[in-house]
Amino acid sequence: MEYKILDDKIIFKKTKTFNIKSILDSGQMFRYRFEDGVFIVQSCDKVAKICDIDPQNMMLTSKNLKYFANFFDFDTNYDIIISELEKFKFMKDALSYSCGVRILRQDALETLICFIISANNNISRIKKSVNYICQHFGKKIDENNFAFPTLKELSKISEQDFVLAGTGYRAPYLVKTIKMLCDGFELEKLKTVETEEARKSLLTLPGVGPKVADCVLLFGLGHKKVFPVDTWIAKVFNDYFDKNEKDRIKMRKSLVKTFGDLSGIAQQYLFYYKRENKN
């Protein structure tokens, strides 16, 4: 994607492969808001603001420009990805609708905690819980923004605190997983091991099932050959592959076999299209 990093901002061309609203609404992350024509995105202890500046260009401002250039995956050519996925005829409508979505390169710890909270939950409640945790236990960045807590800060949060944050039955899972991380579970190391090994390790963490594990692999650990299967992807599988299949693990394996290294982005395109066009 064509962009320029200047002193305090990134200027980049509008393109069909970058739609900030679609990216943020595609279920990958939960710390963002829209105010006065500006999208405000938070990751760890960093904040970016993104807006249009004219009909052809957009602007990202932040104190951490290189971080957010990587976060939004500016250097990956999504036109090539789309051209590869166009070989699958059933992807036509999803590609047309969802081509502005990108896979975000998020912090592993933040992704893990957020997706444990996301299990059997809706986006509004997830965002409220995550924002509560940041405001009460993270450092203040500025007048309107709080950092996501570090592992040390997370370790001081009690189960009752997580309940007050609205995490419900997930509260004990969060406490136990955070303890495992503090006791030496090497989350960052999972970026460099084989996907199946990384998945097996994640599944040992309380509150992490197959779907959450695959989301963490894709959005927080950079694994590409994963295909998180939720209700919407199950519908896609039944529509396009096997109308009788109910086993989501079998669905995931079949979809990864079909899409290979394009699995992650294919999943996001199909998920976003199916969820937004329910009928």
**Which residues does the annotation mark as catalytic?**
211
2 and 10 in contact (C-beta within 8 Å)?
Answer: no
For helices 195-202 and 210-219, angle between their N-to-C axes, nearest 10 degrees: 130
Beta-bridge mates of residue 11: 4, 59
Q: Which residues contact 27 (CB under 8 A, 6 or more apart)?
A: 123, 271, 272, 275
**DSSP secondary structure string, 257-271?**
HHHGGGHHHHHHHHH
Q: What share of the chain is helix, strand, coil (3-state, %, to 5)?
A: 50, 15, 35
Structure token pair of residue 131: 């924002």
Neighbours of 79 (CB within 10 A): 13
The H-or-E segment that residue 11 falls in is: strand 9-13
Structure token pair of residue 195: 């996907």
